[in-house]
């Protein structure tokens, strides 16, 4: 298969193995299966295999954090969206927040409904702040290691190939659709959309992953670090619990899902505007292309030198005959 179409082979194998693994998940407890988290590493492991097999460079995935400032939107945009949706649904009387996560009383903090690394006992405010920040930092770091599996596949390996094939806007949208339907079996099992599994699997999940994928793609293109979208992925998973675990709905569950998707739709539009106004550099294949061109130039120069040496030797030989 031609190198430019290698993503087709990659997707075929990813979907085959992932759907097979999701069948195993179904047979071992469904979305409660202990095997669930391993699913997220199938795209990443196969991406590494394809990169090494095709003798590409793993360094092009982007392992450093030179543009570390993108950590802030990766964490705080998902957090802001979660808090905003909770406040909006309460203001519209669609839902009620299930209860206070913590309360302040006599200079102490009483914790409820959340688990913190240094304990949930009554604690003073400075200790609570340390406990809260440390806990969520650890949650995000551990979560990023898990989500890194997906991000290696979708952003680190596939994104640039898809975007080069279909263009920036269409490529990011197409990648989001792929990401959405990759989840299809587990969504049908009731994951994320327990009250609307078919609608969720066929429409809502792909729509959500298009918008989230554009946000992740924007972060990756701007930061050039695979850790930033992995962190954003973990952040979205963590803070969405504010919406889906601590809110009691007074309306149909669909209102909560559509609000969440719409919020990410706004973020996706802003990301696309930014990317189209200031076009990103697609660095992963550019370096390889430049390297190949330099090799060709070197080879051509070498051929020219050899030809000239041959002509000089030939001229000297003929001059000696005279």
Give the chain's length: 322
In a domain, 310, yes or no: yes
Task: Tally the domains of the chain.
Answer: 2
- 150 in the same domain as 298: no
Distance CA 49, CA 20 (A): 19
pLDDT of residue 88: 95
Q: What pLDDT score was predicted for residue 281?
A: 83
Per-residue pLDDT of the chain (322 residues; tens, 9 = 90+): 556 678 999 999 999 999 999 999 999 999 999 999 899 999 999 999 999 998 888 889 999 998 999 999 999 999 999 999 999 999 999 999 876 777 887 788 888 777 888 888 888 888 888 988 999 999 999 999 999 999 999 999 999 999 999 999 999 999 999 999 999 999 999 999 999 999 999 999 999 999 999 999 999 999 999 999 999 999 999 999 989 988 999 999 999 999 999 999 999 999 999 999 999 888 776 544 444 433 343 334 444 445 544 444 444 334 333 3
Residue 111, pLDDT score: 82
- Specify whether 193 is located in the same domain as 319: no
Residues 204, 308 within the same domain: no
**Same domain assignment for residues 231 and 172:** yes
d(CA 236, CA 69): 18
Helices 6-27 and 168-182: crossing angle in degrees, nearest 10, is 30
Give the pTM.
Answer: 0.85
Q: At what angle do helices 168-182 and 253-277 cross, to 10 degrees?
A: 150
**Is position 107 within any domain?**
yes
Q: Are residues 161 and 301 in the same domain?
A: no
Do residues 189 and 226 share a domain? yes
pLDDT at 3: 62
Residue 268, domain member (yes or no): yes
Q: Do both 193 and 313 map to the same domain?
A: no
> Closest Cα partner for 131 from 145, 140, 121, 142?
121
Give me the long-range contacts of 101-109 (CB less than 8 A, separation at least 24): 101/246, 102/128
Q: Give yes or no: residues 300 and 251 share one domain.
A: no
Report residue 219 as tokens. 């972060």
Q: Is residue 240 located within the same domain as residue 311? A: no
Q: 276 is written with which tokens? A: 């189209």
User: 309 and 221 share a domain?
Assistant: no
The pLDDT of residue 301: 41
Q: Are residues 271 and 236 in the same domain?
A: yes
Q: What is the CA radius of gyration of the chain?
A: 26
pLDDT of residue 112: 78
Query: Tokens 């009483």 belong to which residue?
Result: 110
Look at strands 123-124 and 108-111 and give their pairing. Answer: antiparallel
How would you class 180 by CB atoms within 10 Å of its CB: exposed for 0-12, middle for 13-18, buried for 19 or more? buried
Largest CA distance in the chain: 112
Are 199 and 61 contained in the same domain? yes
SS3 286: helix
What span, in angstroms and rounded, lies between the C-alpha atoms of 227 and 138? Answer: 15
- Structural domain range at position 310: 292-322
Distance in angstroms (rounded) separating the CA atoms of residues 18 and 7: 16
């Amino acid at each position: 298969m031609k190198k430019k179409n290698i993503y087709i082979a990659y997707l075929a194998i990813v979907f085959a193995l992932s759907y097979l693994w999701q069948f195993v998940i179904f047979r071992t407890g469904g979305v409660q299966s202990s095997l669930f988290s391993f699913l997220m590493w199938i795209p990443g492991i196969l991406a590494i295999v394809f990169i090494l097999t095709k003798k590409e460079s793993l360094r092009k995935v982007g392992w450093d954090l030179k543009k570390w400032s993108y950590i802030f939107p990766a964490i705080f945009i998902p957090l802001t969206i979660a808090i905003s949706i909770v406040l909006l649904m309460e203001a519209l009387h669609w839902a009620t927040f299930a209860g206070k996560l913590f309360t302040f009383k006599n200079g102490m903090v009483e914790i409820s409904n959340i688990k913190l690394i240094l304990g949930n006992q009554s604690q003073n405010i400075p200790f609570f702040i340390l406990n809260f920040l440390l806990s969520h930092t650890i949650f995000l770091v551990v979560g990023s290691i898990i989500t890194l599996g997906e991000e290696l596949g979708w952003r680190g390996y596939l994104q640039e190939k898809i975007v080069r094939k279909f263009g920036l806007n269409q490529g990011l949208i197409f990648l989001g659709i792929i990401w959405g339907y990759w989840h299809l079996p587990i969504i049908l099992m009731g994951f994320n959309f327990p009250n609307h599994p078919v609608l969720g699997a066929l429409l809502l999940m792909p729509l959500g992953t298009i918008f989230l994928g554009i946000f992740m793609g924007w972060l990756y293109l701007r930061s050039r670090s695979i850790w930033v979208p992995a962190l954003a992925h973990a952040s979205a998973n963590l803070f969405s619990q504010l919406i889906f675990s601590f809110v009691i709905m007074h309306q149909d569950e669909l209102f909560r899902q559509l609000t969440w998707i719409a919020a990410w739709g706004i973020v996706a539009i802003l990301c696309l505007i930014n990317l189209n106004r200031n076009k990103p550099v697609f660095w992963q294949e550019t370096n390889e292309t430049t390297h190949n061109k330099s090799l060709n130039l070197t080879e051509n120069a070498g051929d020219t030198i050899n030809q000239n040496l041959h002509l000089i030797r030939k001229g000297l030989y003929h001059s000696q005959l005279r």
